[in-house]
Amino acid sequence: MKELTNEERGGFNVGYYSTDSVQATNVSWTRQSRFNGPSKPSVKTVFEAPIAVKQNHFVITNKRDLLFGGDGEFYNINIRGEINWHYKDSRNFMDRFFFTSPIILKNGYVLVGTSGGWDSKGHKVMAFDRDGHLVWDFKCDDAVSSTCVTDSEGNIYFTTYGSKLYSVDLDGNLRWIFRYEAEFSITPVISDEWKIYISSNDEFMMILDRFGDLLKKFKIGTCGPYSFPVFDQRGNLYFKTNMIDDIQLISLNNEGTINWLFSPERGDIITSPALNDAGFLFVGATFFNLFVLTAQAKRFGRQRLKDL
């Protein structure tokens, strides 16, 4: 349970993610990538998707195939832009859903949820094998509102617009449901102590145990939408939060106590933080600013992106 990933960096629970994929997930992950980006970006391949790709992050398999979804369709394409396989919604055009961001598991399964309007029904989480065959689907009815995350045993967690946090096992069987009176505002994250952190639109952060029982609840501000928290190797949690109309970067320890708050002298924090192997936090802000912070909230640097 204390095993670490990403070259032994990060205090998060090592999920049942594919470790040989280039990028198995975009959430519940200490660093956003294990690889260097290009020094001179150039267009290599253009794939004309017949769908709108929205509210979706890409993931990349060990074969460098790209997985993504959008309005009613989900694709696996190769590095040349050719379709390996794709799944199409069979519902009528006006009723069809869009897909949440996928994740890749150790056993090769690709997990993806379906979503739509907050009051839409008939939604589910699906598991596909490497060849695009549907292995199982779990019907949750309400639209899925988060990317799926997984713990080291392969248990899967996701939220819905029905104010529910679900946990299902690797075979798609329900483990438990945590119900709440307000919508959840961030994707759940799991520490290496098996604590599940989730926040809500009524400004509360909750800590659950692995069985879905509430351990702690405290007011922290609105943490979202599209806020993806990260852990450091000490178990401190970093994410953006809106407290009294000021969007800040916050650090919590593993007991839920605030370590510090960082707010730019001018403007707001607008991106989720990223953590590098040297322990520096990178976060974007309004007025084209990129801030680099130490884990103690000391400003290490600032760059105006408009000037680059």
Shared domain for 253 and 308, answered yes or no, is: yes
pLDDT surpasses 50 at 1: no
pLDDT surpasses 50 at 7: no
Query: What is the 3-class SS of 275-306, one letter each residue?
Result: ECCCCCEEEEECCCEEEEECCCCCEEEEEEHH
Shared domain for 192 and 283, answered yes or no, is: no
Q: 69 or 171: whose pLDDT is higher?
A: 171
What mean pLDDT is predicted for residues 58-66? 91
pLDDT surpasses 90 at 155: yes
Query: Other C-beta atoms within 10 Å of 34: how many?
Result: 15
> What span, in angstroms and rounded, lies between the C-alpha atoms of 240 and 249?
4
pLDDT tens digits for range 273-294: 888 777 788 888 888 888 888 8
Structure tokens at 121: 């029904």
- Summarize the chain as % helix, strand, coil (round to 5): 0, 40, 55
pLDDT surpasses 60 at 78: yes
Q: What is the pLDDT of residue 270?
A: 77
> What span, in angstroms and rounded, lies between the C-alpha atoms of 123 and 114?
6
Give the residue from 210, 235, 260 where a domain finishes.
235
pLDDT tens digits for range 209-254: 999 999 999 888 777 666 778 888 788 888 888 766 677 888 988 8
Shared domain for 159 and 283, answered yes or no, is: no
Q: Using alpha carbons, list the distances in angstroms from residue 258 to 218, 262, 275, 297.
A: 11, 11, 18, 12
Shared domain for 53 and 101, answered yes or no, is: yes
Containing structural domain, residue 150: 1-36+47-235
Q: What is the pLDDT of residue 296?
A: 74
